[in-house]
C-alpha cells in the first residue's frame, strides 16, 4: 500500500520561501529606484502645469516671514518660493522642480534654487543652470513696500 505524505520541502518551509521571494522583490524595487531615480517617473512629462492667479502679500513683520529679513533667507507660500538674494534683492519662483515636482530650496551661498532630489539648479530668475530638469521655473514679480514692510508677489 502506498501512502501519500505531504512534501517535506513545502511543509517544512512555506515562510522562508515567501520571505525569500518578497526580499527579492524589494531588492529589485530598490535597485530600480537607484538606477532610474526620478527619471522613470513623471519627470519625463515635459508638460508644465503653471500656478494660476498668484497675487498675495507677505508682511515681513510676521514671525512666519522672518527668514526674508536676512540675505539668503527664504519662505514658501502658495506654491511659490520667495528668497532674499545675497545682494538683498527679493526673488520669487514656482517652488516645485520642473523635472519631478520636488520642493526646491534656496542655496544662499550660490544664489541658486536647488532640487535636493536629483540636484537640478536654477538661477534667481528660474532659468536652468544644470539638470536633469530641462524646463525653467515660473518667475513672479515682487513689489516691495518698505514703508508698509510688505512684499506683494504676483504673476
Q: Hey, is 13 helix, strand or coil?
A: coil
CB of 146 to ligand FES, least distance (A): 34
Nearer to ligand FES, 42 or 69 (CB): 42
Nearer to ligand FES, 58 or 115 (CB): 115
Nearer to ligand FES, 58 or 100 (CB): 100
3-class secondary structure per residue, 24-73 = HHHHHHHHHHHHHCCCCCHHHCCCCCCCCCCEEEEECCCHHHHHHHCCCC
Binding site for ligand FES (CB under 6 A): 38, 43, 97, 99-100, 102, 115, 117-118, 120, 132-133
Interior CA angle at 146 toward 150 and 91, to 5°?
Answer: 60
Phi, psi of 26 (to 5 degrees): -65, -40
CB of 119 to ligand FES, least distance (A): 6
CB of 78 to ligand FES, least distance (A): 20
Nearer to ligand FES, 98 or 124 (CB): 98
CB of 40 to ligand FES, least distance (A): 11
| Closest C-alpha among 91, 94, 34, 99 to residue 68 | 91
Amino acid at each position: 500500500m502506498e501512502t501519500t505524505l505531504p512534501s517535506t520541502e513545502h511543509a517544512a518551509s512555506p515562510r522562508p520561501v515567501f520571505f525569500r521571494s518578497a526580499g527579492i522583490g524589494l531588492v529589485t524595487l530598490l535597485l530600480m529606484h537607484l538606477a532610474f531615480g526620478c527619471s522613470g517617473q513623471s519627470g519625463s512629462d515635459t508638460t508644465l502645469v503653471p500656478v494660476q492667479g498668484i497675487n498675495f502679500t507677505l508682511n515681513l513683520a510676521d514671525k512666519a516671514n522672518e527668514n526674508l529679513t536676512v540675505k539668503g533667507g527664504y519662505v514658501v507660500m502658495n506654491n511659490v518660493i520667495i528668497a532674499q538674494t545675497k545682494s538683498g534683492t527679493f526673488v520669487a519662483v514656482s517652488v516645485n522642480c520642473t523635472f519631478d515636482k520636488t520642493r526646491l530650496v534656496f542655496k544662499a551661498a550660490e544664489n541658486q534654487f536647488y532640487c535636493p532630489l536629483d540636484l537640478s539648479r536654477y538661477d534667481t530668475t528660474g532659468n536652468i543652470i544644470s539638470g536633469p530638469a530641462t524646463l525653467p521655473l515660473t518667475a513672479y514679480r515682487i513689489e516691495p513696500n518698505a514703508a508698509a514692510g510688505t512684499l506683494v508677489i504676483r504673476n
